[in-house]
Each structure stands twice: as structure tokens, then as C-alpha cells.
Structure 1
Amino acid sequence: MARASSKKPPVLLPPDPMPARVDPCLAMLVDKPPKGPDWAFEVKWDGYRLAVHIEPGRVRVITRGGYDWTTRFPTIADDARRLAVKTAILDGEAVVLDDKGRSDFGMLQRAPGRLPSAVEAGAIVLYAFDLLYLDGRDLRRLPQRERRRLLEPLVAGREGAVRLSEEVQADGDEFLRVACAHGLEGIIAKHRERPYRSGRNDSWRKITCTRRDSFVIVGFEPSVMPGAIGRLLLAARKGDELVYVGGCGTGWSRQESVKLRGLLEEIVTNSPAVSLRRKNAVFTEPALIAEVEYRTWTDDGKLRHPSFKGIREREDDATVFDLASLEA
């Protein structure tokens, strides 16, 4: 007579609920790359931070600020449907590459946005660098190396609109030197043993060749050239207020300057968003955000050597620079 098996059936754990939204992990700005085998390095992409939610019957593309921009990135949503998953949340950056393979934010923001461009929306690529949820399992508690192990087979080697952001096996200082020499914005370092933590923390660190942040456009000064812009007037957040942080007068072509002035003239206001008196200033509603590259801050809280890199709509203003970070 056969003996009954004493082996107990495996316990099936209930699936983790899929988050409707995950606040992204944000890299802390540091001066030098960290040392040691616990750190992984990637290129710092210059684009829109997005979370791609793959759900039964639909795909959602969510911005850093929590807005649903699926209709702005249709090729990313369509390609994500082809991934071999039932449910997943990818964390990544949407970019457009220039002819040297570098991400170009100016080209990207013209692709789905209001400024005309020869760039087609289909040229936009999502470089996925983290996997937060997969087929009923919340992965955020896992270390970065394990999340990466699960991400790679899903997107590695793909040539579509969803691709893998490669890790670079190199010394951090040398990688930064090469990245800056090739005109890249900088690099990202990620601690291999830490879980995914929403908000800014030192689990992820960014090291930039120059500083780059987002500022609210609160007005402009006309150029001596008819119909163009001489300087953009910029503001940063301080608590619930906007504070003027200086003007930016470089970084655009004559054609871009004329188009930008046309956008701003649509939102001219007699109620400035900042306390500022400047001769010839034209104040605008704080509806647009400028991406600005700069070297550092002056002692009186103004941007030093700012250069315009692109424009965002204020709808997704989670990236606007907060002056509190200068005091931290």
C-alpha cells in the first residue's frame, strides 16, 4: 500500500496590489562619483522622466509630477504593449538622440509639444533603467542589483521605442571624464544593495558636467532684433512662492527666439508672479518652464552663466528648482 506523501503543497502568496502611481526615486547631486564595488553607473539621460504602467488591457505613461501623458508618447505606449509581461511598472527617461547618439532635450520637447520641429514623435525612445513592479510582485523592496536582473531580459537588445539604459562597467571618475568629453550631461551612480526609495536620497547620485535645472519663466525682455527675445526672466520655488533668480539671454537660435516670444506674448500679464522692477520687462503668466544649464549660483542667489536648453509646460512642474536645496 503506497504511503501518502507528507510533502505540503507550496503556499501561494496573494499578489501585491499594483500601485496607481509611484513617486520616483530622485538622484542627489554630488561633486564626485562614489567609489567601490557597490556602485553601478549609467549615462544621465536628458529628457522626460516617465513611469510606464503596463496593465491588463491598457498602458499608461505617467510623468514625474503624476500626469498621464500617454497620448503624448504613443510610440512608447504601443511598444510597451509588446513586452512579455502581464503587469509591470518601468522607470525610465524619454529622450530623442542627436546624430552623435546624445540625448537632446531641445529636440525632445519640440517633438510632442507646442513648438514646431522636424523631429517626429516616433523618434522618441524610452531608456528604461528600473523595474518597480512585475506580474503581481512589488519589486521596490528588492536591492537595485536584483531589480536590474529582472529588468534586463525584458528590454535588453531591443531596437523599438522601449530600450535598456545600459550599465557601464568602469571607474566612476574615468566614466565621468569620458562622458563630459563626449558632450553628455553627466552620469548617475546607483547603490546596488539598496531598495527603491521615492524622493531625493543618496541611494542614487548624479554627477554633472555642468549644472542643469528647471525654472519658471515669469517674463522676458525684448531683443533689439524685431520680434525676438533678449532675455528670459526666470524664477525658482521657495515654499509656496516664486523668487526671481536672474535672466537668461543665450542658448537659442534667431528662429527659436521668435517662436518663443510668440508663445510668451500669448500669456502676457499685468500681475507679475515675482517682485521685480526692470525697465522694458514684459511679464507673463508663470505657465512655462525653461530648462537651463548653468555653472553655479552667485552669492546673491542668481544663476551664473545660464544657457537656455528647452521649454516645458507648467502643467508638469514637479521639476521646478527649489531654493531650499541650496540651504540643505
Structure 2
Amino acid sequence: MRQSRKRRTSPLLQSDQIAQSQPRRRRDPAQPNLPFDPMPNRIEPCLALLKSSPPTGPDWIYEVKWDGYRLAVHVEPDGVRIITRGGHDWTSRFPAIADAAKRLGVRSAILDGEAVVLDGNGRSDFGALQKSLGGRGGKRASTEAILYAFDLLYFDGHDLTGTELSVRRHLLGDLLDGFDSAIQFSEDVSGDPDEALANACSLGLEGVIAKHRDRPYHSGRTGDWLKIKCIQSESFMVVGYEQSSVARGGIGSLLLAARRGSGWISVGSVGTGFKGRDAVYLKTTLDKLKTKQPVVPMKGKNLVFAQPTLIAEIEFRGWTDDGNLRHASYKGLREVQDNAAVFDIEDKP
């Protein structure tokens, strides 16, 4: 996978485009030192639409797909805030990233990126990230996590969301050039996109992200960003379990649901991937969430239904004709604050 831009070893990404500020505005009384655009308190993230194959053509750039927590890092005149995808303040959970942000040398900025913990081969490891945070419900601060920043939404008084991606990434790359810390630039990769995907898969990476280079930053899933995965992995709501007298922990499988509008739809179950200790925790927690009325219609023996509270990250190989996950495997639980990450069935390719 050849990178078009490498830290310290190759020339800066070439671009003949120049970022233009918006017309000068009156100073915001609440932010008197920012003469241009008031700094937003939060920007809803741009989300990638799942596709089975990468797009082709000069309009697209490609990056590694990182497996971690989506974060927005706000560098503000009076400090740093780290905001999760769901809008929660997790500054205290990522002290190394917050400290690095303070040393960027800018008065104000908003960086969009993914917090990850890397394994010995430089691959993002979601399980290791969860462990570093103390597991689901834990309050531990992760000292191992780093941020791979892939977008710059605001910079020293300028709102960049209306600027094309290529310019935003050019500015971000310059900002992070030579910055060897807990914030790193998420490099773009060039070459044939199918080969890039195959190379990512051979290296054990999760996949690639394709982004339209000329588009402004749009919140939500607009199709400007696409994700193509080696092995599909998404977050689903656990809505119960199948009891088992032979499985360790008493759980044969977890019952899963995806979002559909304001409600839920069943996507089947998962019976592999969790260890005995996981099963004991899951059963104990789900038993506290028992409900007689299933969240989604389900039939079967020995089913225990639960209120939609636990969010599981699931690997799977595709979808069956009747809308269930194929060859699903449990990876771990996400924080309850990650409810915004639960898969929406409308996003199914």
C-alpha cells in the first residue's frame, strides 16, 4: 500500500489550492480574539456509508480504516475538549491526546479523528483500546491511546467545513508535519483502490475509507465518505440471549437488533467470540435488564429478552437473504454513550 504522503521521509502533499477565509465578520463578544468565524461548540461527525467495493476515479482519496473511538478534539483558547461521536466529553479519558493537543501551537482548532491502541504490528486493536479504558463501564484513562487525525474542521478563527476535503487535509498535514506525539496524521494511500483494499486485508487491517476530495464536510451519511471492510464489523444492540445448559456462563447466543427508523429490527444472533468470563458478565447484566415483552418479534426456545441497553461490536461476513448476520462473531461491548454508533439497517449495502 503506497502512501502518497509520508511523515519526515517524503515531500509534503502537493496542492495548488489555497484555503480562502470567509469575509471578515464582527468579533463575537464571547470570543473576542476570533475575528472570523465563531468556534462551534460541536460539529456532528461526517459518517462513512458501507460499500462492498471501493469507488474508482480521480475524485476519491483513500485512507486506512482505523478500529477505535471516533473523537473530535477541540483546541480552544482556554483549554482542550475531547468529544465522542455521541457528544460526550471524554477529555479525562484520553490524557495523552489532550496533552498533545495543547502542544500543537494553535489557538483554536477542531480535529476529527479516531482514537486507537496499536498492537505490535501497528494495527489498531479495538479490544486493547477497550481494556485500556477499563472495559465497559470502566472509568480508567487510557495512556496508550493515540489519535489518528484525518480532518481539520476549524482552524484559528476559520470554519473549514465549507472547504473541500483536499484543502482541509493539506492544512491538517502541515499542522501535524513532524509532530511526533499522541496525535498523528492519518495518511492517504494512492494506487489502484482494489489493490489498496487487498493489501490492507493482507496486513490484517480493518479496511479502507474512500472520501470525495472536492466535497465540503457534511454531517451524517451522505455518501461523500465510504467504508469498505475486509471483514465487516458493526455495532448492534443486544436485546436478549438464548439460555444454554452446556455453554460456559449459561449463554448459547446473544440476540441482536439494528436500528430501523425510531425502532429496532432483528438481525439474528451471535454465539461465538465471547469467553467464559464475557458470558458470565453478559448473563448477569442482561438478567438485570429482563423484560417480558421482546423489543423485536422473536421466536425460539429458551429465549430471555432484555431492554436495549448493551451495545456489542460484531464481526460478520455478510447478510443472509432474510436479513440476518452471516458468520457473526462477538468482539466486545461498547460504552453506553456509543448508542449513536448502533448500525442502522438503512445503511446496509
Same fold (TM over 0.5): yes
Per the alignment, residue 179 of structure 1 pairs with 200
CA contact (8 A) 1:64 1:318 kept: yes
CA contact (8 A) 2:95 2:141 kept: no
Matches within 5 A, 1:183-198: 183-198=204-219
The residue identity in structure 2 corresponding to 1:313 is E
Q: Aligned in 2, Cα 1:289/1:113: closer, same or farther, shift over 3 Å? A: farther
> 2:286 pairs with 252, 264, 269, which one?
264
Taking every aligned residue pair, what percent have the same amino acid on both sides? 55
Q: Aligned in 2, Cα 1:228/1:122: closer, same or farther, shift over 3 Å? A: farther
The residue identity in structure 1 corresponding to 2:347 is S
CA–CA distance in structure 2, aligned partners of residues 248 and 55 of structure 1: 43
Per the alignment, residue 49 of structure 1 pairs with 70
TM-fit CA distance, 1:116:
9.5
CA contact (8 A) 2:136 2:333 kept: no
Q: Aligned in 2, Cα 1:300/1:32: closer, same or farther, shift over 3 Å? A: closer
CA–CA distance in structure 1, aligned partners of residues 282 and 157 of structure 2: 45
CA contact (8 A) 1:286 1:314 kept: no
Q: Aligned in 2, Cα 1:267/1:176: closer, same or farther, shift over 3 Å? A: same
Q: Given the alignment of the two structures, is residue 162 of structure 1 paired with residue 183 of structure 2, yes or no? A: yes
Per the alignment, residue 300 of structure 2 pairs with 278
Q: Given the alignment of the two structures, is residue 131 of structure 1 paired with residue 152 of structure 2, yes or no? A: yes
CA contact (8 A) 2:147 2:183 kept: yes
> 2:99 pairs with 72, 78, 93, which one?
78
> 2:340 pairs with 313, 318, 324, which one?
318
CA contact (8 A) 1:287 1:315 kept: no
CA contact (8 A) 2:115 2:146 kept: yes
TM-fit CA distance, 1:228:
4.8
CA–CA distance in structure 1, aligned partners of residues 319 and 24 of structure 2: 55
CA–CA distance in structure 2, aligned partners of residues 64 and 94 of structure 1: 11
Per the alignment, residue 301 of structure 1 pairs with 323
Q: Which moved more, 1:295-304 or 1:32-41?
A: 32-41
Per the alignment, residue 233 of structure 1 pairs with 255
* TM, length-normalised to structure 2: 0.83
TM-fit CA distance, 1:203:
1.9
The residue identity in structure 2 corresponding to 1:167 is D
Aligned residues: 316
CA–CA distance in structure 1, aligned partners of residues 152 and 85 of structure 2: 15
> 2:240 pairs with 174, 197, 219, which one?
219
Q: Alpha carbon RMSD of aligned pairs, Å? A: 2.3
Per the alignment, residue 140 of structure 1 pairs with 161
What does the per-residue CA deviation read over 1:271-305, in whole Å, with 9 as the maximum and x for residues that have no partner? 43223233222222211111111122222221111
Per the alignment, residue 291 of structure 1 pairs with 313
Per the alignment, residue 272 of structure 2 pairs with 250
Per the alignment, residue 6 of structure 1 pairs with none
CA contact (8 A) 1:110 1:116 kept: no
Per the alignment, residue 99 of structure 1 pairs with 120
Q: Comparing both structures, which one devotes a greater share of its residues to strand?
A: 1
Q: Aligned in 2, Cα 1:52/1:116: closer, same or farther, shift over 3 Å? A: closer
What does the per-residue CA deviation read over 1:60-97, in whole Å, with 9 as the maximum and x for residues that have no partner? 11121222222322322222111111011000011111
- 1:202 alignment partner, SS class: coil
Per the alignment, residue 29 of structure 2 pairs with none
CA–CA distance in structure 1, aligned partners of residues 288 and 134 of structure 2: 16
- 2:48 alignment partner, SS class: strand
Q: Aligned in 2, Cα 1:269/1:72: closer, same or farther, shift over 3 Å? A: farther
- 1:259 alignment partner, SS class: helix
| Larger CA Rg, structure 1 vs 2 | 1
What does the per-residue CA deviation read over 1:169-193, in whole Å, with 9 as the maximum and x for residues that have no partner? 3221111010011111110112222
CA–CA distance in structure 2, aligned partners of residues 115 and 99 of structure 1: 24
Per the alignment, residue 10 of structure 2 pairs with none
Structure 2: runs of 5 or more not aligned: 1-22, 26-34
CA–CA distance in structure 1, aligned partners of residues 188 and 347 of structure 2: 28
Q: Aligned in 2, Cα 1:190/1:275: closer, same or farther, shift over 3 Å? A: same
**Once superposed, which parts of structure 1, at least 4 consecutive aligned residues long, lie more than 4 Å away?**
none
* TM, length-normalised to structure 1: 0.88
Q: Aligned in 2, Cα 1:27/1:115: closer, same or farther, shift over 3 Å? A: closer
Per the alignment, residue 44 of structure 2 pairs with 23
